[in-house]
Amino acid sequence: MNKQNKLLHFANIPTVRLTLVHLAIIMTLSITFSVVLYKTSTRPMSPPPRQGWESNLPTQNNRPERYLDDNARLVVEEYLQQRKHELLIRLIWINLGVLFVGIIISYVLARWSLRPIEEAMDSQIQFVSDASHELRTPLTVLQTTNEVASRKKKLPISEARELIAHNVDEVKKLKNLTEMLLGLLKDDKKPVEFTDVNLQDIVSDAMSSVVEIAQAKNISIEDTVPKLKIKTDYSSLVQIISILLDNAVKYSDKGQQITISADKTDNKIYLHVADGGIGIRASDLPHIFNRFYRADKSRSKASGVQGYGLGLAIAQKLAKQIDTRITVKSETDKGSTFTAEILR
Ligand code: ADP
């Protein structure tokens, strides 16, 4: 952050506004209190009577008639004026002190209350910018290939077919991406319904969603999950396991094997999706659940893997909603094991 940016950060308009609002409240209270204190302390008082007045304390029917002489009265009045003046000066100083401390407190309070809002806004901006970036790539490819084709004087039918097939592929990618983006936003508000379900059913539903891509790569999936009753949201857990299986297939080489297994403790079930694929570097592991994060792009690209870095972010979000935790152990070139810790 350069100097100007730092200044803008500290003096951004919402912070200044909120600081002023807090300060106005503090100063209104302080000044009101000071005025009341001044008024009550300097209310005109009846002058004290002469010596021996104790025996002549004013009562309803017996008012003292003898008071101080004029000189004494002047001295007393002067003394009172002086005390009034001193009180005024003291209150002004106190209010200046309150103003000074108030500015600091108001600023700290303003920053404290605005920080979560700013963080949420920054994350939204980041999300929109990442999403736009991901959308731009297939759109640019579409635009370029179509422009090149349209400039050709003659376009043989075979080439046109190829172009259309390529366009359809790119549109599919775009559709896939927009569906994932919507999924990521929608899942925030998606109601979850905990019911008693059989884990085996969930696993076979999830497996059916990846069977095609697994067959295309000649990858076999070994399912050793026993019959286990759990209380969870059926569709969320199916989606989580589908994402883990989909990744396992994507990041495995042709002909490899994936295993899905489960074990249980008193209050938890651990569901493991293990592959012998390309694995994840230790430096990438803390980031793979972040939106749009793709570990080691060069290796993924080399194995021709498509993706947007959204799958695990969606899985993580769904997992949180159903009290499930996803952990991962991985070694490069040896494979990865993703584990879903499900509360029973
Ligand atoms: P993507 O669409 O890129 O697969 P994900 O959010 O599902 O997005 O995964 C994020 C990154 O984590 C992937 O880009 C990949 O680098 C890594 N990853 C996830 N699962 C595996 C796995 N089973 N094997 C190796 N790498 C994986």
- Check pocket membership of 275 for ligand 1, CB cut-off 6 A: yes
Ligand 1 centre to CA of 247 (Å) is: 6
The number of beta carbons lying within 10 Å of the beta carbon of residue 86 is 10
The SS3 call for residue 294 is: coil
Torsion of CA 270, 271, 274, 279, to 10 degrees: -70
Question: Which atom of ligand 1 lies closest to the CA of 293?
Answer: 10
pLDDT by residue (tens digit) across 287-302? 999 988 988 655 555 4
Strands 257-264 and 220-223, bridge-based pairing: parallel
pLDDT at 226: 94
- Check pocket membership of 310 for ligand 1, CB cut-off 6 A: yes
Are 281 and 287 a contacting pair, CB within 8 Å?
no
Are 135 and 292 a contacting pair, CB within 8 Å?
no
Number of H helices, E strands in the chain: 8, 7
Residue nearest to atom 20 of ligand 1 (CA): 247
pLDDT at 302: 47
Residue nearest to atom 8 of ligand 1 (CA): 309
Q: Which two tokens stand for residue 155?
A: 């376009």
- Check pocket membership of 335 for ligand 1, CB cut-off 6 A: no
b/e 102-133 (16+ beta carbons within 10 angstroms → b): bbeebbebbbeebeeeeeeeeeeeeeeebbee
Q: Which two tokens stand for residue 129?
A: 């910018």
* Ligand 1 pocket test, candidate residues 288, 306, 316, 337, most atoms within 8 A of CB: 288
The number of beta carbons lying within 10 Å of the beta carbon of residue 337 is 17
pLDDT by residue (tens digit) across 3-61? 556 555 556 788 899 999 999 999 999 999 999 999 988 876 555 555 555 555 555 55
- This prediction has a pTM of 0.69
pLDDT at 337: 98
Can you list the residues of the chain whose pLDDT is less than 70? Answer: 1-11, 44-68, 187-190, 296-304
Ligand 1 centre to CA of 270 (Å) is: 20
Ligand 1 centre to CA of 276 (Å) is: 14
The number of beta carbons lying within 10 Å of the beta carbon of residue 4 is 8
- Check pocket membership of 244 for ligand 1, CB cut-off 6 A: no
The number of beta carbons lying within 10 Å of the beta carbon of residue 197 is 17
pLDDT at 49: 54
Residue type, position 186, single letter: K
- Check pocket membership of 308 for ligand 1, CB cut-off 6 A: yes
Residue nearest to atom 13 of ligand 1 (CA): 294
